[in-house]
Amino acid sequence: MLRVDRRFTDMDTIMDDLHDLFEWWSDEALDAGALDEYSIEVMKLAIHEWLANLVQHARFPEEEPLIKLTLAPDEQRIHCAIEDNSSGFDLLQQVTCQRHHLEAAPEPPERGRGLLLMIACTENLSYRPVSASAKRSKQESYLHRLEFWVSPRESSIPEALDSIDAADQTPQPHSLSPSIDRPLIARESV
Amino acid sequence: MSFPIQIAPPDVAVVRIGKALDFRNAADLKTACQEHVKNGARSFILDFSGTGILDSTGLGSIFSLYRQITPLGGQVVFAAVSRPVQVVVQLTRTYKVFRQYPTVEAAHQQLCQRTGSRAGAA
């Protein structure tokens, strides 16, 4: 089954658990023709970046961490939702900061491109507080929900990587800046 | 997690990245490479064969190395780039910064030629 509903509670093992999940899910998705190999890698990267962000920066002030990942085929795309019970953050503001930081830096900076990378991977991304009516139960009380889609996209990865000269490369589609310029982020984020 | 690093003459360090370079071990890569820069390494070949995860923090540690050795006349190149790594390279356009080679041997050969031509020009 391509649909996945997986809960994570241990922040020490969450990344390993996630990649274990990816290992079998990728094969299923490929066999089912849901996404091509390149698009699956893009989706995995987006989810990895978001969970890495939670592990490194999220605050879970009142309860044990609870994170739920849902993957579901949606016509020709994969729908992904990640809910958590963290205190959340202003995604739009963080993305704007990262972009300004990246553009202003005289040399490529060491940090501050994770959210931009995640957005470049996704379509129709939104990040919102979970409304009271949507909360499932006291035992499973999520506070924020990230949602996006990933569509099949033609890989423009060159087959031969023999000495690719940086100066000879033309900008590729799905690059960072154009994606970020799209209105992808819900302003309701907290 | 440690990163195996081999020195290839004259001053090239070959770093085997392994399964993952991400926020969990990016600092280890920085530390390992800094040690080799102190010991005279100027060019780094990052061997990405079999690498399943490269995230933004991992990429940041490579930029840290790049910023450290570029003023010294060094360079960082990628070899045997796996598909997950290639996706990151493409989305971030870092192919504009890091040259890529199909194998470590091809990268080493090219770096030696460049070093030789620089020495010849001097």
For testing contact with chain A, the best of B51, B57, B81 (most A CBs within 10 A): B57
Grade residue A139 by pLDDT with cuts at 50, 70 and 90: low
Of B57, B84, B93, the CB nearest to A176: B93
**By three-state DSSP, how is residue A28 classified?**
helix
Q: Tokens standing for B96?
A: 């504009």
At position B94, the amino acid (one-letter code) is T
Grade residue A137 by pLDDT with cuts at 50, 70 and 90: low
Grade residue A73 by pLDDT with cuts at 50, 70 and 90: confident
Q: φ and ψ at A152, to 5 degrees?
A: -60, 135
Of B52, B64, B91, the CB nearest to A110: B64
Q: Do A41 and B84 touch (CB under 8 A)?
A: yes
Report whether pLDDT(A64) > 70. yes
Report whether pLDDT(A89) > 80. yes
Measure the N-to-C terminal CA separation of chain A; round to a whole number of Å.
34
Interchain CB contact of A176 with B (< 8 Å):
yes
- Residues found in chain B: 122
**By three-state DSSP, how is residue A63 classified?**
coil
CA A49, CA A135: separation in Å to the nearest integer?
Answer: 25
Q: Tokens standing for A114?
A: 């994770």
The shares of helix, strand and coil residues in chain A, as percent rounded to the nearest 5, are: 40, 20, 40
Contact A156, A173 (CB under 8 A): yes
Q: Tokens standing for A133?
A: 């009516």
Scanning every residue of chain B, which has its alpha carbon at the shortest distance from the alpha carbon of A40? B84
Interchain CB contact of A19 with B (< 8 Å):
yes
* Of the listed ranges A9-13, A57-61, B27-31, the one predicted with least confidence: A57-61
Q: Tokens standing for A13?
A: 């093992």
| pLDDT, greater one: A83 or A131 | A83
Interhelix angle A114-121/B83-92, rounded to 10 degrees, is 100
**pLDDT tens-digit readout, A92-128:** 999 999 888 888 888 778 888 899 999 999 999 999 9
pLDDT at A88: 93
Q: Do A15 and B90 touch (CB under 8 A)?
A: no
Q: Do B92 and A161 touch (CB under 8 A)?
A: no
DSSP assigned state of A94: H
Q: Tokens standing for B76?
A: 């960082």
pLDDT at A111: 85
pLDDT at A32: 84
Interchain CB contact of A93 with B (< 8 Å):
no
Interchain CB contact of A108 with B (< 8 Å):
yes
Report whether pLDDT(A181) > 90. no
To the nearest whole percent, how much of chain A has pLDDT over 90?
52
**pLDDT tens-digit readout, B60-115:** 999 999 999 999 999 999 999 999 999 999 999 899 999 999 999 999 999 988 77
Of A38, A52, A175, the CB nearest to B55: A52
Of B24, B88, B95, the CB nearest to A164: B95
**pLDDT tens-digit readout, B7-65:** 998 899 999 999 999 999 999 999 999 999 999 999 999 999 999 999 999 999 999 99
